[in-house]
Structure 1
Amino acid sequence: MKASNAPTTARPSVSRKHVIVLTSSAAVLYVLIEMVSGFSAIVTARVVGSPAVAGLGPAIVFGLAGMTSVPAGWLSDRVGRRPLLSGGFFIGGLGALAAGLSMGTQTVLWLWAAWILTGMGIGILRLLKAAAADLYPPQARTRGIGVVQTGALLGAYLGMAVATGRSPQATMRMLADPWFLVAILWIMGMIGTWGLLRPDPIQMAHAWETDQDVPHRSVLPRTGHRRIGAILLAISVIYGVMVMDMALAGEVLKQMGAGSRTIMIVMAVHFTGMFGPMRWAGGWATRTPRPRMALMGAVAMIAATATMAIVSLTPLTISISLFVVGVGWCIAWMAGLGELAEAVPPRERGTIMGMADFGSDIVAAIITLFGGVTLAHYHLTGLVILGVSAGGIAMGTIAWGWPTRRAKISADPI
């Protein structure tokens, strides 16, 4: 009789300790991301001594972050989330330390080492999404991702506060000090994840799953399958439009004569739209057909982007538009991540999340590059047309390849 009762034994509960560790890790991650966004171009130009190479700093960091995402995700599926996240904190911490040393010593070698290590660390730490999905039962995975990702908002605020307090004309020593502080935070993150993230989130995911929850066949060889490919393409394009709007809005504000503090405030509003609703969007994705939710997010982004060509542009109107762009991205992104997290077993979740990050980085780089050229030649109207067109591609991809029915991707015929 006891054996017959085994299937009804209590399932594990969500570990509050794990949630706190991962949420704090997301905050620490985005402190560094904001530092790179605000300072890497300035630091590269000053250490190398040529403004012509300023763009190499952020290009190396975010390029390597994308290239690292898939192999890091694959490795985390095999050795566990805890070793990879701890290793990512260590690598990124070394990168921040090397960045500080490069400014203090004016050494170019330290600088390139800094950006390489920082990019790898960021690429690995973005796997927090997979670990967050592992912590929650199947019906609440997306909400779990949203809960953990809310930590990114605090990190973005802290990073922007540091960036706002340092002007491009500051001494190299003044620019170096925040990087040493970030290095300490990342080493603390390494210690925290290694010591507190026990049991490993992937072990908890296996405890949650039942035979009905996950596919028995591997999903990854079928990423060319229409539905999975559509999800990856759609969220990558939506991410690319969001990054283009964010990056080039800063240039538009500069052309309007806005100061660095005003630009940072506008970016803070944008990040509030991106990460503020994460928990709510994650919960919504557990109750709403996700393709419909993704379409709603894409429509919000397109409308907000188009508005910038219609209304009189001021820092206030740009802030409102970027806030709505951020909210739209949040809704669509959470819908896509929830669908991908549900599509794969724990042993493939890190890899699929890495693929989403990699695709998003590549598309964002391409769209932002074309957006910059378009802004220079066709001004804001051309930029808006590009953003709306890309958003339309995302909507068409969702409508064509991501049906509203909630059947598991793994059950679809090939």
Structure 2
Amino acid sequence: MSTISRSVQNRITATIFVGQALFSAGTIAAFTITPIIARNLSDTNYAGMPQTLGQAGRAIFAYFVGWLMIKFGRRQTLSYGYLLAGLGGALSIVAVMQQQFWILLLGGLLIGLARGATEQGRYVAAEVYRPENRAPILGIIVAAGTIGSVLGPNIVTPSQWVAERLGLDVATGPYIFTLGVMVIAALAMFFFLRPDPGILSQQINEEIDDPAVIKKPARPQGELLRLPRVQLAIVAMSIGFLVMVLLMVITPLHMDNLGQDSAAISRVIMFHTLGMFAFSWMTGFFIRRVGQIWVIMIGALTLIAACIIAPIASSVWMLSVALYLLGLGWNFAYVG
């Protein structure tokens, strides 16, 4: 049994849960309108560029986040990650006001870099628990996105009203919201993520009864990559992200071209993100019950169903179903 108090574990889990919820709400609100703004500032061929750069930055920066967390600690790394996302939101506001596509690209890149850092918060929350309790905690933290999936799309129209009252372009509204919630999340990390979860993780490792866990040196990266289960995890996550991003990024632009308003677009994105996050709290328990491979297989079948339904969707509700399945399939592939 761990000597780390339950109150400390709960505070760290709650802090990261709030941060993940705010990050999800901010990025989803921004995502809902970004492809449309990108199309207006350039042309249709480049409408997906901000998200593409964001995904690239997310993947590249995630590799360095582990080093940053070791050198500067979990608390500082996550705090600056949220601030980086806030800076991305601020640049996106400038891009809309100045009608500069390249600034929008830079904003998208910074938000993507920030995502590469803040997503590690899921594992930071889990590492303050013993290994046998980490999968459910990971699922709970991923489920924080449920709040964002409801708040983010539904804040688009009110945020546009706020921007108009401030004398700004209505399209800056979601980015204003993004900037605000990222600053709040950064402050929450800085003040409440104490003691640093990395220190607590080391303490747990020292408390584990099995001496092999403590004394056995870490495996080289090359050796890990040769393990079949590691290869399966990488393939599952990569395909899940690829399929989801391909359909997700083009959906707002597709609906805008069909004459749908921002409320309809927001509703479809809400269902998509609900699929991503709403049942994450159950996915960890599901994995423990049936195993990772079965969960990944179910996720793959769900993604296939989404890819079949989305191209033939002739109404908002059908597109909502397709995007919901897309998010759910990603969830199974990612958490699995």
1:63-87 deviation per Cα after TM superposition (whole angstroms, max 9, x unaligned): 2222211112332244321111011
Q: Could you say which residue in structure 1 is the equivalent of 2:235? A: 233
Percent of matched pairs sharing the same residue: 20
Alignment of 1:261-280 (within 5 A): 261-280=263-282
Q: Is 2:225 aligned against 1:205?
A: no
Q: Is 2:45 aligned against 1:23?
A: no
Structure having the higher Rg: 1
* Preserved contact between residue 138 and residue 208 of structure 1 (Cα < 8 Å): no
Q: Is 2:176 aligned against 1:183?
A: no
Gaps of 5+ in 2: none
Q: C-alpha separation between the residues in 1 aligned to 2:313 and 2:34?
A: 32
1:50 is displaced (CA, Å) by 6.3
Q: Could you say which residue in structure 2 is the equivalent of 1:323? A: 324
Q: Could you say which residue in structure 1 is the equivalent of 2:304? A: 302
What is the alpha-carbon root mean square deviation over aligned residues?
3.1
1:45 is displaced (CA, Å) by 5.4
Q: TM-score, normalised by structure 1?
A: 0.68
1:22 is displaced (CA, Å) by 0.5
Gaps of 5+ in 1: 1-7, 336-414
1:112 is displaced (CA, Å) by 5.3
Query: Which amino acid in structure 2 is aligned with residue 207 of structure 1?
Result: Q
* Preserved contact between residue 19 and residue 132 of structure 1 (Cα < 8 Å): yes
CA 1:272/1:107 → structure 2, altered by over 3 Å: closer, same or farther? Answer: closer
Alignment of 1:208-219 (within 5 A): 208-209=204-205, 210=208, 211=211, 213=213, 216-219=217-220
Q: C-alpha separation between the residues in 1 aligned to 2:104 and 2:254?
A: 29
* Preserved contact between residue 30 and residue 174 of structure 2 (Cα < 8 Å): no
1:267 is displaced (CA, Å) by 2.0
Q: Is 2:64 aligned against 1:71?
A: yes
Q: Is 2:73 aligned against 1:98?
A: no
CA 1:137/1:318 → structure 2, altered by over 3 Å: closer, same or farther? Answer: same
1:196 is displaced (CA, Å) by 0.7
* Preserved contact between residue 93 and residue 172 of structure 2 (Cα < 8 Å): yes
CA 1:273/1:113 → structure 2, altered by over 3 Å: closer, same or farther? Answer: closer
Q: Secondary structure at the match of 1:117?
A: helix
CA 1:255/1:175 → structure 2, altered by over 3 Å: closer, same or farther? Answer: closer
CA 1:119/1:217 → structure 2, altered by over 3 Å: closer, same or farther? Answer: closer
Q: TM-score, normalised by structure 2?
A: 0.82
CA 1:129/1:234 → structure 2, altered by over 3 Å: closer, same or farther? Answer: same
Alignment of 1:133-144 (within 5 A): 133-144=126-137
Q: C-alpha separation between the residues in 2 aligned to 1:245 and 1:49?
A: 21
1:100 is displaced (CA, Å) by 2.3
Query: Which amino acid in structure 2 is aligned with residue 197 of structure 1?
Result: L
Query: Which amino acid in structure 2 is aligned with residue 185 of structure 1?
Result: V
Q: C-alpha separation between the residues in 1 aligned to 2:19 and 2:57?
A: 20
Q: C-alpha separation between the residues in 2 aligned to 1:304 and 1:109?
A: 33
